Structure 1
Amino acid sequence: MNKFMTTFKLTFLSKLKAKSFLITTLIIIAGMFIAFNLDKIIGLFDSEDDTVTLEVEADETFLGVFEPTLQSYDDTIEIVDDDGSAVLEVINNEPLEVEMRMEEEISSSQEESIQLALNETNRAYVVQTLGLSQDEIAQMYAEVPVEFLVAADDESGDFEAADDDEMNLLNMIIFYFSVILMFIIILNYASQIATEIANEKSSRVIEMIVSSIRPTQHLMAKVFAMISVSVLQVVLITAGGLVAFYFSDTSALLDQFGLEANEQTTKIVVYCIIYVILGLVLYLSVAAMLGSFISRMEDLQQGLMPVTTLSMIGYFIALGGMSFADHIAVTITSYFPFFTPFVMPLRLLVSDTGHAPMLIGIGIMVITIIITLGLAGFVYKRSVLSTESGIMKNIKRIRK
């Protein structure tokens, strides 16, 4: 046990002190601080904070409609009686024609606000011209009520309300971020662990190592050290994200981008964290097993091809399936162990997904991880002193 812990500590500390670990973690955390304060950053560089004084040359009827409408769209535009930095002149009322004269350019958002306010004012003019009553105006702008019904599952011939399949934007962002984070860390650490194992074998350092520690014990110490480092990085990034979220003006940010939590948000956060960790453990275990087949560094990329391919397929299924998370293809692939960490949380974007599929997916992954680690130990023990130059030759040797 002491030899296991010694190898574990050496590997863990060396990876923890690596510049790649520190730089990657800091960049991702900094990115989250920027994302959570994006509205403030945009405000620093956006000229729309500059107040524009607008002089309106029109009758009182136009001004009475236009001014409150414009203020509802943009409060950085102030209407003044004279000496404004911009002049809006009504050239014709029927149809409404307007000319804007400015001392200097205003921002595109302010131009859009003025355009929208003019459109609303024009509609008010048209309605007034038609001589409609208030009830008729209200009826014209009223939203048409509609109820969507689908046939009941009990074959009774009755109809019931259709489920709301509209996905929550905040939940989609959380899922999107977790999938990208997992994909990046898998590719990074899978390459590192396979490189370490292959480098020891190719340099013959392993001959001295296995003379003092059992090969399987040595491999497991390295695998668990690398897993611990990757999980620690996920924890640090998650903690950094929570700190960034706490110290940002979250209510204003969520309102500005139309983000709103629902009953699935907490569930998707928890399960995304669980599946990211399990996904890292699974793919790093596979990378360790593949690294055990390699005796030369030249064969490293070829040996890691299964990890790269499987993770990329799972990644693209997850992102491509966001628009049809309840499709049968998504459901089936979510139970394939190497796609489960990518695809299973995707099903939570559909509001009627419960805990049962998530727990089944966790069970599948745990069983697969145990089998993979056992197989990795077996392969490493049989091939640790192999000098065969090709991966296929090493596989044939292990099967003997």
Structure 2
Amino acid sequence: MRDFWIIFKQSFMTKLGTKSFIITTGVMVAAIFLMANMSSIIDTFKSMDGNDRDDIVYVSDETGSLFEPLKQQLAVQEADFKIEQTEESNDALKTKVKEAKIDSFLVLAMNEEGTINASYTSESASEMEKPLAFQEALQSLQTTLQASQLQLTAEQVSQLFAPIEFEQNAVSPNSKTEEELSTARGLVYVLIFVIYFAVFAYSMMIATEVATEKSSRVMEILISSVSPVKHMFAKIAGIGTLGLLQMALFGIVGYIALKTSAADMSEGFFSVFGFSNVNPSTIGYAIVYFLLGYFLYATLAALLGSLVSRTEDVQQLLAPMSFLIIIAAFIAFSGLGNPEAAYVTYTSYFPFFTPMVMFLRVGMLDLPIWEPILSIIILLVTIFLLGWFGAKVYKGGVLMYGPSRNLKDIKKAVQLGKE
């Protein structure tokens, strides 16, 4: 057991002290704080422009009667920019836009039928927010003008445009309400991405570590004093512990960033991700499936990594495993819109897809408790069998040198391990 902890500590501390790990962790922490305070940062950059030019759109009202109603309508819509009336010609305003003296302007006119004609001009055609706000406001004004010409009362206009009452119900006992789904969808999306990234990255790290030790011939010294099986599981546990601590650090940093952020987690960008109403059971399942998914793929990665003698061959031999992870992520992300789809249900019990796909179903649906428990049992059994078989392959694989061509080398590794 002492040998196990020595290798465990060596794997943990070696990766912990690498520049790539430290830089990646620092960048991720900075990115989390950046995302949490994005709205405040954008507002700060806007306020740095002393004349607030970006918040003013100049309006040339050729009708002489639309500017004030438009201003009132934009106020009702809570538009985050201001409009200012101007008497300058269109050519003069275009010249100012070209010279970057103003950002944009709007020209209002009306044809003989009483239809509003508007022309919005800016430096770039990619601008979307302000033109859409103007279209919505002017459409409301057009409706009001037409209602006035038809001599409709305000009550008749409100009845004409009254929204219908629409309610969505589900008979499935597993379904949540639309409000609950909207809250869970974003959070599940984020956690699936975290599971995908962590499982992929740490599994690749284990395979590369094993291949590096083989290529430097350090492996020959290690297995002379420690059994290959103990060496494999010590590496998996050491790097897995490091990964779990890194994910925990990101979670703590994310929580602190959101709590200290000036942004309201219940509104705007954060409302999409459901951060204002986190279900503790969802976080618990995320941790369980993260750990099981890691040990499943880490064991497979150690098995495959033992077959290569050069780090350059790791990517090629791990390609089948990478495809499994990518397919699982694709199914999970595609199932966000319809978590009760048959293909999502069936694939959630396939062990290599379970960590992400079953987690999707657990987060999005009210499943009976036996379903996640069954999936966890399937994962544990698969990890045990893969660990048993992987130990046999690893035992012979670490002694194999030369180019690794394909997965047929697994059979050779098993035979070598028996000798």
TM-score range, shorter chain: 0.7 to 0.9
Aligned counterpart for 1:230 among listed residues 232, 243, 253: 243
| Alpha-carbon displacement from aligned partner over 1:48-75 (angstroms, at most 9, x marks no partner) | 7534575867667x56643321212325
* Structure 1 unaligned regions, length at least 5: 154-159
Aligned-residue Cα RMSD (Å) equals 3.9
Matched with 2:232 is: 219
TM-score by length of 1: 0.80
Aligned counterpart for 1:120 among listed residues 113, 117, 140: 140
Matched with 2:22 is: 22
Distance 2:192 2:122 in 1: 49
| Alpha-carbon displacement from aligned partner over 1:81-135 (angstroms, at most 9, x marks no partner) | 9999978665568514456799999975334333322221111111122122343
Amino acid at match of 2:239: M
- How do residues 21-100 of structure 1 correspond to structure 2 at under 5 angstroms? 21-43=21-43, 50-52=55-57, 65-73=69-77, 74-78=79-83, 94-97=113-116
Q: Is the Cα–Cα contact under 8 Å of residues 36 and 253 in structure 1 kept in the other structure?
A: no
Question: SS at the partner of 2:267?
Answer: helix
TM-score by length of 2: 0.77
The structural deviation recorded for 1:382 is 4.6
Distance 2:122 2:198 in 1: 53
Distance 1:296 1:88 in 2: 67
Aligned residue-pair number: 391
The structural deviation recorded for 1:271 is 2.3
Q: Is the Cα–Cα contact under 8 Å of residues 199 and 297 in structure 1 kept in the other structure?
A: yes
Question: SS at the partner of 2:15?
Answer: helix
Distance 1:346 1:229 in 2: 25
Amino acid at match of 1:50: D
Question: SS at the partner of 2:264?
Answer: helix
Distance 1:292 1:99 in 2: 68
Mapped pair 1:394 → 2:413: yes
Question: SS at the partner of 1:381?
Answer: helix
- How do residues 288-367 of structure 1 correspond to structure 2 at under 5 angstroms? 288-294=302-308, 300-348=314-362, 350-353=364-367, 355-367=369-381
Amino acid at match of 2:74: L
The structural deviation recorded for 1:245 is 1.7
Percent identity between matched residues is 30
Distance 1:322 1:212 in 2: 50
Cα gap change, 1:172 to 1:28, in 2 (>3 Å): farther
Amino acid at match of 2:323: T
Matched with 1:242 is: 255
* Structure 2 unaligned regions, length at least 5: 47-51, 94-101
- How do residues 147-296 of structure 1 correspond to structure 2 at under 5 angstroms? 164=177, 168-169=181-182, 171-251=184-264, 254-255=267-268, 259=272, 261=274, 265-294=279-308
